[in-house]
Structure 1
Amino acid sequence: MKVVLDAFDAGPLLRITFRTLAWPFRWLGYRGDLSMPPAPRALTALGPAYIKFGQILSTRPDVVGDDLAVQLRVLQDKLPPFSMREAKAEIQRELGQPFDALFSSFSEPVAAASLAQVHKAHLSDTGEAVAVKILRPGIERAFRTDIDAFFFAARAIEVLSPSSRRLRPMEVITHFEGVVMGELDLRLESSAAAEFAKNTDGDTGFQVPSIRWHLSSRRVMTLDWAEGTNIGVNLALDAAGHDRRVLATRVLQLFLNHALRDGYFHGDMHQGNLKVAANGDIIAYDFGIMGRIDEYTRRVYAEILFGFIRKDYQRVAEVHFEAGYVPANRDVDEFARALRAVGEPIFGMDASRISMARLLNYLFEVTERFGMETRTELILLQRTMVVVEGVARSLDPHMNIWQVAKPVVEDYIKESIGPKALMRDLVKTARILSRFGPQLPQYAEETLIRFNNPPPPPKPQRPLTPLAWMFLGGAIVGAAVWIGTLL
């Protein structure tokens, strides 16, 4: 706890409160792996859902500090693995074939995360190298326990702090549950990988390994082996001759392209899920968490980014109101002024001079002052943006995120918010109307009939008579007496 409080530079009152609340429980619970540093050991002991939170923090040394970020990096892919015996038994059970008939070689785990671990293997029939991902035994029940605890905490927060209801804690946990429970079916992850590979097939400098469908199931997934250097190890990247500034630009622009152009993006782009091939291509894997945003949301998101890039804070504020992100009863000019206070201090600065912790703190103050509620459809997009920016910053601490984002956002604006986009929308609308063309006369006739023959007004409900109230009261008392005798 001390490590976390130090990382967030917590004040004395917060430290005393946490220590007082935690003291009665210090002898309870699971001690975890004593060989691990304190913070990752605590998160690992708490459970897989908490490890997810630690993975996000590990990408933000500017928020939690360099030392804690390095400690938390082990949560990405270096957790204690389960045994080879369990792994082989799971493969044989899931794929329904003898293990030796499938693989000629099978390595010890090369990566182990909160939900699954990965082995390098060679196929018996072709000798090709593949990666085999296997879910941890009992992970479904462990995650269910964590989610139930989160729901309990969210309910408690809503009851004890009415002002927090604008953050929709229950809806946030429901969204998180849906996202993560999808990770527990590797058939869905295989499908996501195939769709993502199709969307990004023409992206220069980017690779997605192919899925081996005949060797994949609900708890086992097999895909082509991706050889490369972990994108989080700067010394190894430098030794391999990669230009980290180019990689930083590419990883951020790729994410923006996937989110804006395709509306389908990798939702877990931390360093543990990215490699750099020998030719400099970025290789993505682990497709359990994928984000999808509709065309309207993409246009709103692009307009907001474009407004910040052009320093047009009035337009950024107007877009927030048009999209319903800010209540209509608030002042748009005041909101624009608040956004200027966000953008001006960081515009044109390189990443090393921007305090993300201070910026996030001020953004939270702005959302509270203007009554902005949590938008669950944007949670994954915003979270991934924070993670990707953290990965890019770790590669090039002096990158300017606005300059890097500008060409991608401008290209999308030209294609999606202009005359060409309007014509495309009109054509799409006409196509939909033509599909329902044969039924339009029937719809018009039914509408006219309903208009000319409105339904009769509902009959007023008669109030209960004193005699009815007496019978109702007697029934309630009788039921209470009967329940009491059963108890």
Structure 2
Amino acid sequence: MIRAFRNTGRLIGIVRILARHDALFPLEAVPGLPALRWFGRLLGRIGRKRGRQQRPGLRLAAALQEMGPSFIKLGQTLATRSDLLGEDIAADLSTLQDRLPPFSSARARATIEAELERPLAELFASFDDRPVAAASISQVHFAETAEGEKVAVKVLRPGIEAAFARDLDLFDWIAETVERVQPQLRRLKPRAVVATFAATVRAEMDLRLEAAAAAELSDNFADYDGFRVPQVDWQRTARRVLTLERIDGIRIDNVAALKEAGHDTDQLLRQSAEVFFLQVFRDGFFHADMHPGNMFVDGDSVLRPVDFGIMGRLDVKTRYFLADMLLGFLNGDYRRVAEVHFQAGYVPADQSIDDFMQACRAIGQPILGRPVHEISVARLLAQLFQVTETFAMETQPQLLLLQKTMLVAEGVGRTLNPTLNMWELARPLIEDWMRAHRGPEARIRQAALDIGQVLERLPALLGQIERAADRLADPAGVKLHPDTAEALLRRRRNGAVALWPLWLALLLVSVAAVLY
């Protein structure tokens, strides 16, 4: 009850800000809130800010910016939900900049000393009090170690954990209320989306996790010359402080400066496409905040990423689904696209596969019928998400994060060369990966692995059956008819013989897998 009163009060404050910016339209998407919408419209007649001529998405972005750090992050997350808000509003929300006024260098110094338990003078030979970047969760200062290493030091904002905890509780309460009041919206998994958002934010607020993410990404690309992750200074890293190797380079969207420095922008686009493919398909671990401000090009034309607070993971099955789906779309095989959705369980089995195939064609033909350099897989995914209601598809939060990352990656690609398409550049890699992981030989190897796992579990399963039979046949246990008890004991005695066809089949498949 206290939680409901507290969050209702905060919700009224949010409605007031939305009203001032003439951005109440998100409330129209949630039926069952007539009183809140009436209150919002009433407030909207009073004290409305200028800017009504702006597009709705820009007005909503301005309102979220005023609400503070958590809402800025939320808006960036909603930028992936064109299925909820429409493509135009989602595109406008993607322009939200996570920039806030910096906090004082004295507080930054105090945080560093408290976290690392040493005076700043012992940690750094020099420390620049002017932050080079200030965002909703942290800010960054340049420094130099006593060993002469140039580093970037990220420091969390004071009190940010408590502020986000209050807002995350509010978001979860709203999602819970929506699911309860409007059961038909449960398929969109509002609570799961909030939970994913909360997990991402909490990970960002433990800078040791960001350090670990940077180290993992670095290990994944240890043998790749065109992409290098800054090294972590673990001795100067803690929960609220992260110290990384400082990057010197040119932003990847500054095409004029890149060309002036002698870089081949077409080659940089090829590298970017290859790196994106390797992260998503090979590793299932990708940088999920790869806007142009987080990617630089050094003097050797090596891509240098920064800011590893938001990372995405995809399990093997999801990667297989993506590869099958993308190749199906790129080849115009809409039957295959529909089949992989049903096989993955993303579309319920009671839906019509033919109708879904027709919907996929309606999405793919206009996009893939364009000149190759204008094809946008991110836009294709966004439109695919928009048909979820018709076919009762459940939201897949991990794919929403990927779709957002794709959108940003495509934007960077068009900046480097608007006549080249990153997906066509990556297509040979996708096809090679598919042959290696989805071809006949790969399927046999996977079948052999699955069989091996079954064989490992089989003795334990047989033991459980035997123990269950003992309990059932025990006179002091469950009372059974004598004929039933005798039949169970007979099956137990003959179990090993009865299972010989299964053992033979497993042996034959295993031999076939080895021979192939």
- Give the shorter-chain TM-score range: 0.7 to 0.9
Match among 260, 271, 276 for residue 239 of structure 1: 260
- The one-letter code matched in structure 2 to 1:274 is M
- The one-letter code matched in structure 2 to 1:120 is F
Which stretch of structure 1 is more off in the superposition, 267-276 or 350-359?
A: 350-359
1:299 is the counterpart of 2:320: yes
- Equivalent pair of 1:47/1:146 in contact (CA under 8 Å): no
- The one-letter code matched in structure 1 to 2:323 is A
Alpha-carbon separation, structure 2, partners of 1:240 and 1:302: 36
Match among 214, 221, 226 for residue 235 of structure 2: 214
Alpha-carbon separation, structure 2, partners of 1:248 and 1:234: 11
Match among 276, 282, 285 for residue 264 of structure 1: 285
Alpha-carbon separation, structure 2, partners of 1:162 and 1:58: 24
Report the CA distance shift for 1:91/1:165 in structure 2 as closer, same or farther (over 3 A).
same
Map of 1:248 onto structure 2: 269
Match among 112, 127, 130 for residue 91 of structure 1: 112
- The one-letter code matched in structure 1 to 2:221 is T
Which stretch of structure 1 is more off in the superposition, 332-341 or 281-290?
A: 281-290
- The one-letter code matched in structure 1 to 2:443 is L
The offset of 1:164, in angstroms, is 2.0
Map of 2:70 onto structure 1: 49
Match among 104, 116, 139 for residue 138 of structure 2: 116
Report the CA distance shift for 1:336/1:236 in structure 2 as closer, same or farther (over 3 A).
same
1:175 is the counterpart of 2:189: no
Deviations, residues 230-258 of structure 1 (Å, cap 9, x unaligned) = 22334433433334343334323322221
Alpha-carbon separation, structure 2, partners of 1:45 and 1:200: 39
Map of 2:12 onto structure 1: none
Alpha-carbon separation, structure 1, partners of 2:277 and 2:371: 19
- The one-letter code matched in structure 1 to 2:194 is I
- The one-letter code matched in structure 2 to 1:288 is G
Unpaired segments ≥5 residues, structure 1: 11-15, 29-36, 458-487
Report the CA distance shift for 1:327/1:235 in structure 2 as closer, same or farther (over 3 A).
same
1:349 is the counterpart of 2:373: no
Map of 1:163 onto structure 2: 184
- Equivalent pair of 2:348/2:392 in contact (CA under 8 Å): yes
Match among 409, 412, 422 for residue 391 of structure 1: 412
Map of 2:14 onto structure 1: none
- Equivalent pair of 2:61/2:93 in contact (CA under 8 Å): no
- Equivalent pair of 2:138/2:156 in contact (CA under 8 Å): yes
Match among 273, 277, 281 for residue 298 of structure 2: 277
Alpha-carbon separation, structure 1, partners of 2:339 and 2:212: 38
Report the CA distance shift for 1:138/1:352 in structure 2 as closer, same or farther (over 3 A).
farther
The offset of 1:436, in angstroms, is 5.9
SS of equivalent to 1:369: coil
The offset of 1:262, in angstroms, is 0.9
Report the CA distance shift for 1:204/1:411 in structure 2 as closer, same or farther (over 3 A).
farther
Report the CA distance shift for 1:384/1:178 in structure 2 as closer, same or farther (over 3 A).
same
Map of 2:491 onto structure 1: none
SS of equivalent to 2:346: coil
Alpha-carbon separation, structure 1, partners of 2:194 and 2:116: 33
- Equivalent pair of 2:414/2:421 in contact (CA under 8 Å): no
1:407 is the counterpart of 2:423: no
The offset of 1:117, in angstroms, is 1.1
- The one-letter code matched in structure 2 to 1:382 is Q
- The one-letter code matched in structure 2 to 1:103 is F
- The one-letter code matched in structure 2 to 1:146 is D
Match among 307, 310, 313 for residue 286 of structure 1: 307
Report the CA distance shift for 1:51/1:414 in structure 2 as closer, same or farther (over 3 A).
same
Alpha-carbon separation, structure 1, partners of 2:314 and 2:295: 22
Q: What does 1:44-83 correspond to in 2, within 5 Å?
A: 44-55=65-76, 72=95, 75-76=97-98, 78-83=99-104
Which stretch of structure 1 is more off in the superposition, 426-435 or 134-143?
A: 426-435
Map of 1:366 onto structure 2: 387
Map of 1:186 onto structure 2: 207
Report the CA distance shift for 1:39/1:194 in structure 2 as closer, same or farther (over 3 A).
same
Alpha-carbon separation, structure 2, partners of 1:69 and 1:394: 20
- The one-letter code matched in structure 1 to 2:110 is A
Unpaired segments ≥5 residues, structure 2: 1-17, 29-36, 50-57, 480-516
Deviations, residues 104-127 of structure 1 (Å, cap 9, x unaligned) = 111221122221111111101x11
- The one-letter code matched in structure 2 to 1:331 is S
Report the CA distance shift for 1:127/1:151 in structure 2 as closer, same or farther (over 3 A).
same
Map of 1:225 onto structure 2: 246
Map of 2:467 onto structure 1: 446
- Equivalent pair of 1:350/1:399 in contact (CA under 8 Å): no
SS of equivalent to 2:388: helix
The size of the alignment, in residue pairs, is: 439
Alpha-carbon separation, structure 2, partners of 1:207 and 1:296: 28
Map of 1:137 onto structure 2: 158
Which stretch of structure 1 is more off in the superposition, 205-214 or 277-286?
A: 277-286
Identity %: 43
Report the CA distance shift for 1:226/1:55 in structure 2 as closer, same or farther (over 3 A).
farther
State the TM-score, normalized to the length of structure 2. Answer: 0.74
- The one-letter code matched in structure 2 to 1:207 is R
State the TM-score, normalized to the length of structure 1. Answer: 0.78
SS of equivalent to 1:109: coil
Report the CA distance shift for 1:361/1:381 in structure 2 as closer, same or farther (over 3 A).
closer
Alpha-carbon separation, structure 1, partners of 2:108 and 2:232: 19
SS of equivalent to 1:286: coil
Deviations, residues 405-460 of structure 1 (Å, cap 9, x unaligned) = 41222122111112432344245446546766875764463355467679859xxx
SS of equivalent to 2:142: strand
Map of 2:513 onto structure 1: none
SS of equivalent to 1:275: strand
SS of equivalent to 1:211: coil
- The one-letter code matched in structure 1 to 2:170 is A
Report the CA distance shift for 1:343/1:401 in structure 2 as closer, same or farther (over 3 A).
farther
Report the CA distance shift for 1:422/1:394 in structure 2 as closer, same or farther (over 3 A).
same
Alpha-carbon separation, structure 1, partners of 2:398 and 2:226: 29
The offset of 1:210, in angstroms, is 0.9
SS of equivalent to 2:389: helix
Alpha-carbon separation, structure 2, partners of 1:235 and 1:43: 33
Larger relative contact order, structure 1 or 2 (CA cutoff 8 Å, min sep 6) = 1
Report the CA distance shift for 1:150/1:57 in structure 2 as closer, same or farther (over 3 A).
closer
Map of 1:33 onto structure 2: none
Which stretch of structure 1 is more off in the superposition, 211-220 or 138-147?
A: 138-147
Map of 2:169 onto structure 1: 148
